[in-house]
A = this chain, B = another copy of it.
Amino acid sequence: MIKNMNTHQTRGPLDHSIRDQVVEAATEHFGHFGYEKTTVSDLAKAIGFSKAYIYKFFDSKQAIGEVICKNRLGMVMDIVNAAIADAPTASEKLRRLFKSITEASGDLFFHDRKIYDIAAVASRDQWPSATAYEQRLHQLIQQIILEGRQTGEFERKTPLDEAAHAIFLVMKPYISPVQLQYNLETASSAAVLLSALILRSMAP
């Protein structure tokens, strides 16, 4: 047991770095050739590892896609958190949340069209990374509502769950990669108009 642990400890950081290398190479490879059309064999050949070796670290192509997707969605969430961190009011937090998540999603998914494809598959097929991301956004919306209710900026009659879920639904077409592609042109003006509508809906 101790031996196993030691072995694991010794291998841990190396494994981790190899996983990272595979993810980094796969991000670039999928970025060029697309996610859906590329097989693990293609990927193995392109990055110079054997297919069996890649399968030591990832169960499937989706498992690699998952990590790439999680990284990108994590980047979006970091940008959002930075944008709202110093907002003086809950209302301003909500406005900045809508604006920054729309912009960051547009930038990170459409800057690189092929990476967008992975996010779109993840969103369509409800990968854990996409589901976890939606849950985090849901929680963030709840937190902002609670804060605004405490400061008296927002009304308190509507059940918290209901208010939060409705706001999430208003935002969804601008954060879901599969839907955002149809809303890219209108996204920035929509973020302004829809934040204002949401804030009117929460007026005390």
Contact = CB atoms under 8 A, between A and B. Distances in A.
A59 interface: no
Contacts of A165: 193
A7 B107 CA distance: 60
9 contacts: A124-B182, A170-B170, A170-B194, A170-B197, A176-B182, A178-B182, A179-B182, A197-B198, A201-B201
Given A165-B193, A203-B203, 4 more contacts: A169-B190, A197-B197, A200-B200, A201-B201
Prevailing SS type, chain A contact patch: helix
A44 interface: no
Interface residues of A, number: 28
Q: Shortest 6 CB-CB distances between A and B: which pairs?
A: A201-B201, A200-B201, A166-B197, A173-B173, A166-B193, A197-B201
Interface string A152-194: 0001001000110111011011001011001100100010011
A83 interface: no
A186 B166 CA distance: 12
A196 interface: yes
Contact of A198 (B179, B201, B203): B201
Interface string A111-126: 0000000000000100
A82 to B, nearest CB: 26
A140 interface: no
